[in-house]
Amino acid sequence: MKIYDSPIKDILEPIPVMISFHGLDYDVHWANKAHRRFTGLSINSIKNKKCYTVWRLGKPCHGCPVKQVIQTGRTAELKIPDPGQAHWPDTQGQWLLNFIPITDETGRVTGVVETAVEITPQKEAQLALRESEFRLQRAQHLAHIGHWELNIKTNQLIWSDEIFSIFEIEPLEFGASYEAFLNATHPDDREMVHQAYTESIINQTPYVIEHRLLFPDDRIKYVQERCRHYYDNKGEPIRSMGTVQDITENKLIEEENKKLQAKFVQAQKMESVGRLAGGVAHDFNNMLCVILGHLDIALDEIDATKPLHGTLLEVQNAAQRSASLTRQLLAFARQQPIAPKVIDLNRIISRMLKMLSRLIGEDIELAWIPSSDLGWIKIDPSQVDQILANLCVNARDAIEGVGKITIETKNASFDDTYCADHPGFLPGAYIMLAVSDNGCGMDQKVLSKLFDPFFTTKELGKGTGLGLATIYGIVKQNNGFINVYSEPGKGTTFRIYLSRYDGDVKEDHSEDVKHEFEGGTETVLLVEDEIMILNFCSKMLKKFGYQVLAANTPTEALELAETHKGTIDLLITDVVMMEMSGSDLAAQLETKFPGIKTLYMSGYTANVIAHHGLLNEGIVFLQKPFSGNELAIKIRKALNRK
pLDDT of residue 92: 60
- Is 411 within 8 Å of 373 (Cβ atoms)? yes
What value does the mean pLDDT take over residues 10-23? 88
- 133-246 CATH: 3.30.450.20
What value does the mean pLDDT take over residues 389-396? 86
Q: State how far the alpha carbon of 194 is from the alpha carbons of 44, 207, 235, in Å.
A: 70, 12, 21
Give the chain's largest Cα–Cα span.
143
Q: State how far the alpha carbon of 47 is from the alpha carbons of 5, 19, 241, 567, in Å.
A: 13, 14, 57, 130
Mean pLDDT, the chain, rounded, equals 79
pLDDT of residue 431: 93
- Is 17 within 8 Å of 97 (Cβ atoms)? no
- Is 362 within 8 Å of 396 (Cβ atoms)? no
What value does the mean pLDDT take over residues 164-183? 83
In percent, the amount of the chain with pLDDT more than 90 equals 19
pLDDT single digits (tens) 249-264: 888 888 777 777 766 6
Q: How far is Cα 491 from Cα 613, in angstroms, rounded to an integer? A: 41
Enumerate the H helices of 144-247 as residue ranges: 161-167, 178-184, 190-203
- Is 6 within 8 Å of 111 (Cβ atoms)? no
pLDDT single digits (tens) 425-477: 788 999 999 999 988 888 887 777 776 654 555 544 444 445 677 788 778 87
pLDDT of residue 283: 67
pLDDT of residue 598: 92
Number of Cβ atoms within 10 Å of the Cβ of 293: 22
pLDDT of residue 89: 56
Helix H or strand E segment including 39: helix 33-39
Q: Give me the architecture of the 341-499 domain, per CATH.
A: 2-Layer Sandwich (3.30)
- Among the listed residues 21, 20, 45, the one whose alpha carbon sits nearest the alpha carbon of residue 33: 20
**Taking 70 as the threshold, does the pLDDT of residue 137 lie above it?**
no
pLDDT single digits (tens) 327-384: 555 554 444 555 678 889 999 898 888 878 887 888 899 999 999 889 899 887 777 8
Give per-residue burial for 622-638: e unless 16+ CB within 10 Å, then b: bbbbbbbeebbbbbbbb
**DSSP label at residue 5:** G
- 523-640 CATH: 3.40.50.2300
Q: In the chain, what are the domain boundaries?
A: 3-119, 133-246, 263-332, 341-499, 523-640
What value does the mean pLDDT take over residues 393-405? 87
Per the confidence metrics, is the pTM higher than 0.85?
Answer: no
pLDDT of residue 557: 93
Split at pLDDT 50, 70, 90, the class of 107 is confident
What value does the mean pLDDT take over residues 391-411? 89
pLDDT of residue 496: 92
Asked if the domains at 133-246 and 523-640 fall in one CATH topology, the answer is: no
Q: How far is Cα 226 from Cα 88, in angstroms, rounded to an integer? A: 51
Q: Give me the architecture of the 3-119 domain, per CATH.
A: 2-Layer Sandwich (3.30)
Q: State how far the alpha carbon of 210 is from the alpha carbons of 165, 179, 191, 227, 403, in Å.
A: 18, 18, 13, 12, 49
Q: How far is Cα 597 from Cα 580, in angstroms, rounded to an integer? A: 18
pLDDT of residue 479: 82
- Is 371 within 8 Å of 409 (Cβ atoms)? yes
**Taking 80 as the threshold, does the pLDDT of residue 191 lie above it?**
yes
